[in-house]
Chains A and B, each alone.
Chain A
Amino acid sequence: MKVKCIFIILFCFFITYDLHPEIFWDGNFYEQALLSFKGNKNIRMTYMGLSILDLKLDTRPSELVRVKSELEYALAHQKDNPLLVSENLESLALNTLNASITPEDFKFTIGRFLPAWGKAKIFRPLDLFIPQTYFLNMLSFRGIDGISAKYYVSDLSSVELLAIPSMDVRHIMPSIDLSSNSSFSNAIDHTVVAANIEIHITPFDNNLILLHDASSGNNLFGFTFKGDAIIGLWSELFYSLGKNSEKNFRASVGADWSFAKYYFLAIEYFYDESGTSDHTKYSRLMASVPRMTFGRQYLMFDFNILNYTELNFGITYLGNLLDASFVLFPYFRYEMLANCFLGLSLYHFNGRAGREFSPDLLGNYILNTYLLVRF
């Protein structure tokens, strides 16, 4: 009911657009079709499709105040779609609705918003509020309900305090039961307070993150940096410990470089102490914890050709180093018309039975086609 009311209010804003010069509407329409091919001789084809309509509202009643909102309508073309963040075929979600005020050197935000703390390219252990999608493109995410106060110490350094009265991560991983915290992932579904201290030391952005889950007693310490030392460099370090959970360390480190004017290379390594090096235990992890990876060590490699046109293409490798399975996907994106993009990628899964990227799970190949229209 609440969502319907909000939708009606947003719709009224939309149709009276001309009366509100400081209201901006943007959005996008996204149509995705996945075709999975399984088997070597008797190829079985499965179709998974999804349509998403995103409406974004941005109002600036004054220089200091800003209200932002994002409403998402998603329609899966059939059940059991791994892309759908819901068990229903269709869903209407208010991803964000927040008000922020920015008096001198401060920013206060209240409502539903999306803190984005990760700095890495693919493996972001410190992106605690955003679902990790390693190889499937997603456009928008549901935020968390909370309050944030940020103080800008200087042009590039700041201190942010965050309070989330009742953090619920079910939308991040809807397939699992989060009635209790997981000893593997330290998932948090209680009142949470956090601090994110950003210190810029040329040429690096450095962040120190401290998070405390008041109910479970779990604590998290994080550190990130991103910057340049001839090549682009970044890293995320995650360490958590608590009364009822095992200590857990995760780290990702990466580098990128563009050379010879047309080529771009990125490489990223990820270590996750909570993962297992024994692939026979994957099913245990799958059943009990909210996680996107099961192994301990991963490598990502991306090669992109920059051709300064509407075309963008490259190839990405993502592999579990310990069970020797990987997914390799060439991708292609073309801007057909202004703000209208066609994307195509072909995921090739490779690995023995029971391994993380084994074709047993999602198929030998998945052809991912999408159309994105921004307006």
Chain B
Amino acid sequence: MKKCIVSLLTIIFVSFLAQNIFALTPEEILNKVDDNEVFDTIKYSGVMTIKKGSRRRPRVKTFQAVARGKDKAYIEFTNPGDRGTKYLKLGDELWIKGTYAERADKISGHKLRDSMMGSDYSYEDTMDNEKLVDRYKATIAGAEKVSGHDCYELDLEAKVKEITYARLKIWVDKEQFVAMKIQYFALSGMLLKEMTVDKVKKINERYFPIKVRMVNKQRKDSYTLFEMKSIVLDEPVSESMFSKQQLEK
């Protein structure tokens, strides 16, 4: 009997030790998320389905997007009504060329946080490709199931001053290390938006969210479904894509 108790205690102790030795730190979890979701280059066809309030028919916007790192992005809308609307982001600067405009107009920096094409995404949200670990300090808050996936629950506090969302709450899939759900908070603590991942695809040995729903928590029944198709990751992209010449073509 004594032997049994000693063996049991040994097993419990070893497993506890193993859990602590092999447990991931919050930074390691964020690094794995960044490894999955932060890219060198990306090319894709996008579909944004925008649902607002009691309106029965959502708006559908289609576009082609190219991005490199965290600083360069180019988007061209292709749906009727918006065809020819183009965006170019270089660092913190943004230019837009409207459907009927002949000029590429520089958008003021403070407008980067405004809604893009009436969606629940801001210009910043859609073109964001910066590592979470560089911007936030994380702590593990617990574990929870999200959409059937076992997830780490992390609290992220901004460690840089110039940031749109002061705090994030993030649920990371324990197997695929994809952020399955993110809540975005203002400095005041108010919940602004909630993002959930509907679909993940394995591309080049990494798990990449390809269908994402962003819910505006400040508005009733408002969400935007962001879907990426024909994704090409980390392949060479011509530098000329990120130029005014491309906007004015």
Contacts and interface: CB of A to CB of B under 8 A. Distances in A.
B214 to A, nearest CB: 12
B125 interface: no
A155 B244 contact: yes
B78 to A, nearest CB: 9
Given A139-B100, A227-B106, A308-B219, A24 B83 contact: yes
A116 interface: yes
Given A114-B102, A115-B102, A310-B52, A374 B80 contact: yes
Contacts of B248: 107, 150
Given A102-B245, A152-B244, A156-B90, A116 B102 contact: yes
Interface in B59-77: 59-60
Interface string A185-202: 000000000000010001
B87 interface: no
Contact of B84 (A58, A140, A335): A58
A5 interface: no
Given A338-B59, A339-B80, A374-B81, A256 B108 contact: yes
Contacts of A104: 240
A113 B103 CA distance: 12
A308 B115 contact: yes
Nearest to B192: A261
Interface in A94-130: 100, 102, 104-105, 107, 113-119
B101 interface: yes
A257 interface: yes
Contact of A306 (B60, B83, B115, B249): B115
A156 B243 contact: yes
Given A116-B101, A228-B109, A102 B118 contact: no
A309 B52 contact: yes
Contacts of B234: none
A203 interface: yes
Interface centre among A152, A205, A335, A338 (most CB of B within 10 A): A338
A66 B92 contact: no
A158 interface: yes
A308 B106 contact: no
Contacts of B80: 26, 339, 374-375
B111 A258 contact: yes
A26 B243 contact: no
B2 interface: no
20 contacts: A26-B80, A107-B248, A114-B102, A115-B102, A117-B103, A140-B100, A152-B245, A155-B243, A155-B245, A203-B92, A205-B106, A226-B106, A232-B108, A259-B110, A261-B113, A306-B114, A308-B222, A309-B53, A309-B118, A374-B99
Closest 9 interchain pairs by CB?
A232-B108, A339-B81, A155-B243, A116-B103, A374-B81, A228-B109, A116-B102, A308-B115, A152-B245
Interface of B: 52-53, 55, 57, 59-60, 80-81, 83-84, 90-93, 99-103, 105-106, 108-111, 113-115, 118, 120, 216, 219, 222, 239-240, 242-245, 248-249
